Structure 1
Amino acid sequence: MTAATLDDSGIAPNAKRLLWAGFTAILAAGVGFAIRNGTLATWSQQFGFTNLQNGLIGGAGFSGFCFGIIIGGVIVDKIGYGKLIISAFLLHVLSAIVTLMPTSEMGQQSAFLLLFSGTFIFSLANGTLEAVANPLVATLFPKNRTHYLNILHASWPAGMIIGALITLAVGNHWSWKAQLGLYLLPTVVYGLMFFGQSFPKSDASAKGLSLGEMMKEVGILGASVAGFLLYLFTRDALGANILAGLTQSDFFVSGAWNGLSMLVGIGFVAWVAVITRGAIGHWLLFVLFLTHAVLGSLELGTDSWIENINGTILTPSEGKILFIFASAMMFGLRFCSHWIENKLKLSPIALLFVCSIFAIVGLFSAAGVNGITAAFGAMFIYSIGKTFFWPTMLAVVGDRFPRTGAVAMSIMGGIGMLSVGQLGGPGLGYAKDRFTAEHMVATGHSEVLESHRSEKPSKWLGFSEVTALDGKALEEAKKLAESERSAGQQAMVESEIAGSRKTLRFDAILPIGMATVYLLLLLYFKSIGGYKVLTITPEEASGGSQGPAGY
């Protein structure tokens, strides 16, 4: 494909078409995400999955994103936007093929493997698109990047709204496969919109810096955050939860696999150390990476469970309505960040601190709701908090680390998504399993728990293994009217509601930690004269200095 030329205003002739093609591509990802969230209960009923297993599948919808955005961000300047878009399109189609393969006759582990793999491929496609869309729109609209990037990323909540509306409208009439397959419609549309188009060359190489130079402020410290999450992904997602189910060999369930997983994480850190010639990295970027790992678990990990949890506390249809409401809030508020920053005079760090407070109040409020009105209020408060977390954190990296902003932003996005896959999604699933089981034991229903236990216990990271309720039995009990349930079935339903409430309170620990970090950063910036946007000097561009953001 030939390179598109820019007109006098700095905008390519086909800029708007490429913008809306990117919008539609991310919208397809949002549609698929929302429909998948709406099928969790169906999968539990059909295959008997635990909440942890559902969390692992949901988490795979983010883990692959890490690989797509980081690898894509590194190679996009070498191979061009067009080839990456073709790759993403083919991955989206392959994802649908794999995800729609499971049948009721399959064993639980086989169904889990296909759904996990299909969801991982889906997120790999999404990450590849993000690696294209962000620099593409920034290049197409060099004089108004903030405005058009906000438009681009409003497509994610728009897709979630459409997906949730689909499940709400046809959930009781269509199979989960028919519903999930609908995300292929916007996939075909974005493929057609990109087809035959010329693309401008990225200006990422204009600084004249090598990848090693751009990575120096990430360094060994920053790489260690991503390396640890890669270790967890290899050990847990690929090892204990997939490969262990495919073979009886002790290799996959012993210390040998754990050692191999450690080599994957250490290998990434070693690669960064080599290309940066042993650069340690900037402490602030290390802190931001750690915080973004927590942020990813909070925002997207909660998003992947909030419909299910609200649907448990209230009703499934009300859970969908609340999910749509929260997504609509995000869609609208994404257009207001510039106004908020200017009118309220908040620095990005101050905005992040305020958002953390809203998230804390929103989650604690959601845990205690008993009706739809109170739930709307809780989700309104929580949505204000979560809307600005992700883009504002990326903005901080761009403001403070201009020499490495593009690469660091890709790594930060990958860390956030990988955190959801390995910490947020599975962690909340494990918490719900555990708190539900603990409530059953505490209320004297241990025998009911034992007679309706899942064939696979729930275990996550270093936390103790717990007996989880069988998903099929629980969903069957929830479908019955209260007067039709046995005492044991009623105990399961009440325990899941109690477990869901406690899970949300547990989830609120994350924004509490984030608020603490942001408060300390506010004090730090105050001590150095305030938050300022840094720029690259000609000397720094030539590699002569690390600049004020260096170490």
Structure 2
Amino acid sequence: MKSAPPSSSQPDMKLFWACFIALVATSFVFGVRANTIGELQSSFNLSESQKGDINGAGMWPFALSIIFFSFIIDRIGYKTVALFAIVCHVVSLVLTLRASGFKDFYWSTLLVAVANGTVESFINPVVATLFNKNKSKWLNILHAGWPAGLALGALFCALLPDTKLFFGAVWQFRFALCFIPVVLYALLILPRTFPVNERVAAGVSYRDMLKEVGAVGFFIIGSLVYFAVMQMAGHQASLMSSLIVGTVIAVLAGLYTGSLGNWLFLVVLITIGPLATTELGTDGWMPDLLKLSGPNFPHFETWIFVYVSTIMTVLRFYAGPIVHRFSPIGLLVIGAMIAITGLLMLSHSIGWAILGASTVYALGKTFLWSTTLGLTSEQFPKGGALTLNGVSAVGVLFLGVLGSPYIGYKQDMDMDKRLNVTEHTALYTLVQGQPKEGIFGTVPTLDQTKIQSLLEDEKKTLEAVQAESKRSVFTSIAVLPTFMLICYIGLFIYFRSKGGYKPVEIGAH
């Protein structure tokens, strides 16, 4: 399964579309989970923090598989990695359908994330190599597959809300549908021949690839990986132990490479975590956050999810002239500004006003992730698969280890604060659950079984408090793109001082 030698012919568009459908398959599963997590909460009596843990398990193993394969993908071949992804997807979906509680679903979700990360580890460098003269445009088009899969997954959930077929629960039928895109991308991938990465073709050494990341980059990656591995092993890592492990890895990397890392790449690394939480974290929580604030329209929150994802899909397909007009860094500045506005609007929107706020939010986040990958591939070609996939890995690690669980933690703490007041004391006593352990410590919970037993008036009161609490989360998330905006403005000023944004040629010094 060796990669094919580089060719001067036109890019293999069949291979591009195979990569596109593979990305659709990964986000289809994500979209189904995001729009089914509420039912899973009722079925498994999950706390908000446990929901956050499940969403987190769908993220950080994704990053571990990206990092692992980034180190070896040029040696074992892209197709070997693609076949591993296919096997992981099939096995994970089988385990998901057999899940009977929180732990079962947690581990099956974790394996889905490994499969998704494996897909990401090969599609990005493949497309950057196929279109090495126009990377930002084609990476944006490739990543139109992500919102396309989200929209399709959510659409199935909306159109088939009560279908059980031969399964015992609605959520099982929904996850069974995930086999469709998985089988499709498997059939498309199998006959294709993969190219050699441009770094390898240009003769850039393995050590020179590592230099782009450097000691500081490996400190960031190592610290986050340690957190993720400890979480996977069922242990809570302390900040100090994480810093120690990260420092050891940084020292070893620094001694081997003799480099602290490309400073521009390090700026990208510190912004990608907040970016991932702004986009993917909000995607994962949006249906649940909006469910109690929307108008009286069937599955409104799911349709909003589909609407936002459709906007992103269409705009990314037409990214070429937009990137050309503003440059990647200019587009990041504009996107961050609009995303901040959209999140603040969502935090104060009720009923049909959510439609307008969601439109602004979608316009803001559309190009953030894909343009960051385009910028990375254009500015650090010597980094090959490692820098391109390392950015994705750090973003997802940050989201899985800290971002998504923190969103759940904030909801649990905020709900406890809102209910634990004089006017709601009696109601709080009726629904209070047992405290549960999470990554941020012990958190108060609401017992889902007790909530189902409430009288109608009591349920309405609780839902009103929950709606206000969930909307407040968007304000907390808006802090993240604000930090990103500050960094992007700094990069914009830097590139202006250098005469404008220009892609780096791999042979240049």
Task: State the TM-score, normalized to the length of structure 1.
Answer: 0.84
What is the root-mean-square deviation in Å for CA atoms of aligned residues?
A: 2.6
Per-residue CA shift, 1:55-76, capped at 9, x if unaligned?
A: 1111221212212222222212
What CA distance in whole angstroms lies between the structure 1 residues aligned with 2:260 and 2:409?
A: 35
Q: Are residues 1:28 and 2:25 paired?
A: yes
Contact kept? 2:128, 2:135, Cα under 8 Å = yes
Once the 2 structures are TM-superposed, how far is the Cα of residue 271 of structure 1 from its aligned partner?
Answer: 4.7
Q: Secondary structure at the match of 2:423?
A: coil
Relative distance call for 1:313 and 1:127 in structure 2 (3 A) is same
Alignment of 1:288-327 (within 5 A): 288-314=268-294, 317-327=299-309
Instruction: Identify the range of structure 1 (194-203 vs 507-516) with the bigger mean alpha-carbon deviation.
Output: 194-203
1:467 maps to what in 2?
444
**Which of 185, 190, 193 is residue 185 of structure 2 equivalent to?**
190
* Corresponding position of 1:107: none
Give the 3-state SS of the residue equivalent to 2:115 in structure 1: helix
1:404 is paired with a residue whose SS is helix
Alignment deviations for residues 8-40 of structure 1 (CA, whole Å, 9 cap, x no partner)? 6333xxx33322222221111111111111111
What one-letter code is carried by the residue in structure 2 that aligns with 1:455? Q
Task: Please give the alpha-carbon distance, in whole angstroms, between the structure 1 residues aligned to 2:384 and 2:77.
Answer: 20
- CA shift for structure 1 position 528: 4.2
Correspondence 1:350 to 2:345: no
Per the TM alignment, residue 434 of structure 1 is displaced from its structure 2 partner at its CA by 1.7
In structure 1, C-alpha distance between the alignment counterparts of 2:226 and 2:6, rounded to whole Å: 44
Residue 118 (structure 1) aligned to one of 80, 97, 108: 108
How far apart are the structure 2 equivalents of 1:4 and 1:425?
Answer: 39
Residue 231 of structure 1 and its aligned partner are, at CA, apart by 3.0
* Identical amino acids, percent of aligned pairs: 32
Q: Which has the higher mean CA deviation after the structures are superposed, 60-69 or 158-167?
A: 60-69
Indicate the SS of the match to 1:346: helix
Show the counterpart of 1:106.
none
- Which residue is equivalent to 2:9? 9
1:519 to 478, 489, 499: 489
Q: After the TM superposition, which residues 234-273 of structure 1 pair with which residues of structure 2 at under 5 Å, given as runs?
A: 234-235=229-230, 237-238=231-232, 243=234, 265-266=246-247, 268-273=249-254
Partners of 1:476 and 1:212 lie apart in 2 by 62
**1:353 deviation in Å?**
1.4
Distance 1:467 1:9 in 2: 61
Shift of 1:176: 0.5
**1:485 and 2:482 correspond:** no
The answer to whether structure 1 residue 379 and structure 2 residue 373 are counterparts is no
Match of 1:275 in 2: 256
Q: How far, CA to CA, are the matches of 2:34 and 2:452 in structure 1?
A: 16
Corresponding letter in the other structure for 2:188: M
Is this contact kept in 2: 1:44–1:472, CA < 8 A?
no
1:496 aligns with 466
Deviation string 1:500-537 (CA, Å, 9 cap, x unpaired) is 11111111111111112222333333444443333344
* C-alpha distance 415-260 of structure 1, shift in aligned 2 (>3 A): same
SS in 1 for 2:177: helix
Amino acid of the structure 2 residue aligned with 1:333: L
Q: Is the 8 A contact 1:99 1:114 kept in 2?
A: yes
In the other structure, the counterpart of 2:167 is: none
- Mapped to 1, the partners of 2:255 and 2:423 lie a distance apart of 58
When structure 1 is superposed on structure 2, of 127-136 and 139-148 the one drifting more is: 139-148
Residue 394 of structure 2 is aligned to residue 415 of structure 1: yes
Q: Is the 8 A contact 1:43 1:49 kept in 2?
A: yes
- CA positional deviation for 1:370: 1.7
Cα contact 2:199–2:381 (8 A) shared by 1: no
Unaligned runs of at least 5 residues, structure 1: 104-110, 244-251, 478-483, 539-546
The number of aligned residues is 502
Moved more, 137-146 or 332-341: 137-146
CA–CA distance in structure 1, aligned partners of residues 99 and 221 of structure 2: 32
Change (3 A) 1:470 1:275: farther
Against the structure 1 CA distance between its residues 401 and 358, is the aligned structure 2 distance closer, same or farther, given a 3 Å change threshold?
same
Contact kept, 8 Å, 2:198 with 2:384, in 1: the verdict is no
Match of 1:507 in 2: 477
- Find the aligned partners of 2:260 and 2:134 in 1 and give their Cα distance: 35
Asked whether the equivalents of residues 216 and 260 of structure 2 are also in contact (C-alpha less than 8 Å), the reply is yes
**How many angstroms apart in 2 are the aligned matches of 1:86 and 1:25?**
11
Structure 2 counterpart of 1:542: none
Matches within 5 A, 1:394-405: 394-404=373-383
Deviation at 1:272, TM superposition (A): 2.6
Aligned partner of 2:228 in structure 1 is: 233
The yes-or-no answer on 1:435 pairing with 2:414 is yes
C-alpha distance in structure 1 between counterparts of 2:124 and 2:260, whole Å: 28
Contact kept, 8 Å, 2:217 with 2:261, in 1: the verdict is yes
Alpha carbons 1:433, 1:458 under 8 Å: kept: no
Q: Which runs of 5+ in 2 are unaligned?
A: 165-169
